[in-house]
């Protein structure tokens, strides 16, 4: 185990200017407090203040812990800038971050790798709505391609709702993804280094797992153990790993998946900087393998060291993480 001093001076990057700023402030503050408690020389920096690169370059920082969600922190732009000034950072690099942030490009990669994902189309104001519904069916999920936390996302049950849903999504990103609805169970799998955490099943009384269900509601249920037979959970974890690596992601992240009513799995999204709030999922899964929040933050900080990773270890509830 590394001593806190081995990490040097750490900049915890949080806040920013994306639509997910408030969640990032919570994630970053929690990470900062845990690192400080562990004895790491960590300093919080709200990137919205500007002049970030000169502050990092002149501040004597040895590495950065990225707790920024959405554009400007999770899409590869910050990663490229940190590479340029030579500051190591947590999580995925430029390519993995950019691909994971772009839901359309991610699907194109997964399809080329023969990984199962929901059928989709890219829509705009001039789309042929009837042809789109005929191809994908109803209901449909409509999403901004390069946005997170379910911002701008909606479910379309009737064809007449589709133009308005696309317009809502387009207000956040001109590239809009329209996706075939996959009924059934919603699951998420966290990855930290070579450790693949147990799957969590998400249940909400809302129409879908939207922003309120993720961050505000008290009636969202998180099931870990997830209730799947061990062999099926392992297969879901393996699909998560395959989807993660296909996008050139590394370090840590979270993969969201669905099981349809027949039990067939679909990979839906990769998050390269998942939330670290009291409602967040990676810390929840980590606790199920006896990895507390402080230990998880140090394991994430370790990803900035870019150490060689062994083969993925698919953990079940109650197994020791040993990260």
Alpha carbons 198 and 6: distance in angstroms, whole number? 30
Is residue 179 part of the annotated active site? The answer reads no
Which one-letter DSSP state was computed for residue 49? Answer: G
**Which entry of 97, 145, 150, 271 is annotated as an active-site residue?**
271
- Report how far apart the first and last C-alpha atoms of the chain are (Å, whole number): 9
Give the side-chain half-sphere CA count within 13 A for 61.
Answer: 26
Residues in a beta bridge with 266: 258
Reduced to 3 states, what is the DSSP secondary structure of residue 295?
Answer: helix
Is residue 254 part of the annotated active site? The answer reads yes
Is residue 201 part of the annotated active site? The answer reads no
Is residue 39 part of the annotated active site? The answer reads no
Q: Are the CB atoms for 67 and 300 separated by under 8 Å?
A: no
**Which entry of 91, 254, 295, 302 is annotated as an active-site residue?**
254
**Which entry of 7, 187, 215, 266 is annotated as an active-site residue?**
215
Is residue 161 part of the annotated active site? The answer reads no
Reduced to 3 states, what is the DSSP secondary structure of residue 224?
Answer: coil
Alpha carbons 14 and 275: distance in angstroms, whole number? 11
Is residue 218 part of the annotated active site? The answer reads no
252: left (phi over 0), alpha (psi -120 to 50) or beta: beta
**Which entry of 75, 179, 233, 269 is annotated as an active-site residue?**
269
Token pair in block for residue 119: 């059928």
Which one-letter DSSP state was computed for residue 90? Answer: S
Burial class (CB in 10 A: 0-12, 13-18, 19+), 15: buried
Is residue 215 part of the annotated active site? The answer reads yes
**Which entry of 27, 92, 149, 150 is annotated as an active-site residue?**
149
Alpha carbons 57 and 71: distance in angstroms, whole number? 22
Residue closest to 90 by CA, chosen among 148, 14, 1? 14
Token pair in block for residue 276: 């670290």
**Which entry of 24, 275, 302, 304 is annotated as an active-site residue?**
275
Is residue 29 part of the annotated active site? The answer reads no
Write out the catalytic residue numbers: 20, 149, 215, 254, 256, 269, 271, 275
């Amino acid at each position: 185990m590394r001593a806190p001093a081995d990490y040097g001076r750490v900049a915890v990057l949080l806040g920013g200017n994306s639509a997910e700023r408030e969640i990032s402030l919570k994630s970053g503050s929690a990470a900062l407090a845990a690192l400080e408690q562990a004895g790491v020389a960590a300093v919080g920096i709200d990137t919205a203040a500007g002049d970030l690169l000169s502050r990092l370059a002149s501040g004597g920082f040895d590495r950065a812990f990225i707790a920024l969600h959405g554009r400007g922190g999770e899409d590869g732009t910050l990663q490229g800038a940190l590479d340029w000034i030579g500051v190591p950072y947590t999580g995925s690099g430029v390519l993995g971050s950019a691909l994971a942030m772009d839901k359309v490009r991610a699907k194109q990669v997964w399809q080329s790798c023969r990984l199962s994902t929901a059928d989709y189309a890219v829509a705009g104001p001039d789309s042929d709505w009837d042809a789109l519904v005929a191809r994908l069916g109803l209901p449909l999920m409509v999403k901004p391609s390069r946005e997170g936390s379910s911002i701008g996302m909606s479910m379309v049950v009737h064809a007449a709702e589709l133009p308005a849903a696309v317009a809502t999504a387009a207000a956040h990103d001109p590239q809009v993804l329209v996706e075939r609805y996959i009924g059934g169970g919603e699951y998420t799998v966290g990855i930290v280094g070579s450790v693949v955490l147990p799957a969590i099943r998400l249940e909400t009384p809302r129409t879908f797992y939207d922003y309120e269900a993720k961050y505000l509601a008290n009636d969202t249920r998180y099931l870990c153990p997830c209730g799947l037979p061990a062999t099926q959970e392992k297969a879901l974890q393996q699909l998560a790993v395959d989807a993660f690596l296909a996008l050139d992601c590394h370090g840590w992240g979270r993969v969201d998946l669905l099981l349809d009513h027949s039990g067939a799995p679909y990979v839906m999204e990769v998050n390269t900087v998942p939330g670290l709030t009291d409602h967040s999922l990676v810390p929840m899964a980590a606790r199920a393998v006896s990895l507390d929040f402080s230990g998880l933050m140090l394991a994430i900080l370790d990803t900035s060291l870019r150490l060689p990773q062994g083969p993925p270890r698919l953990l079940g509830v109650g197994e020791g993480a040993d990260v």
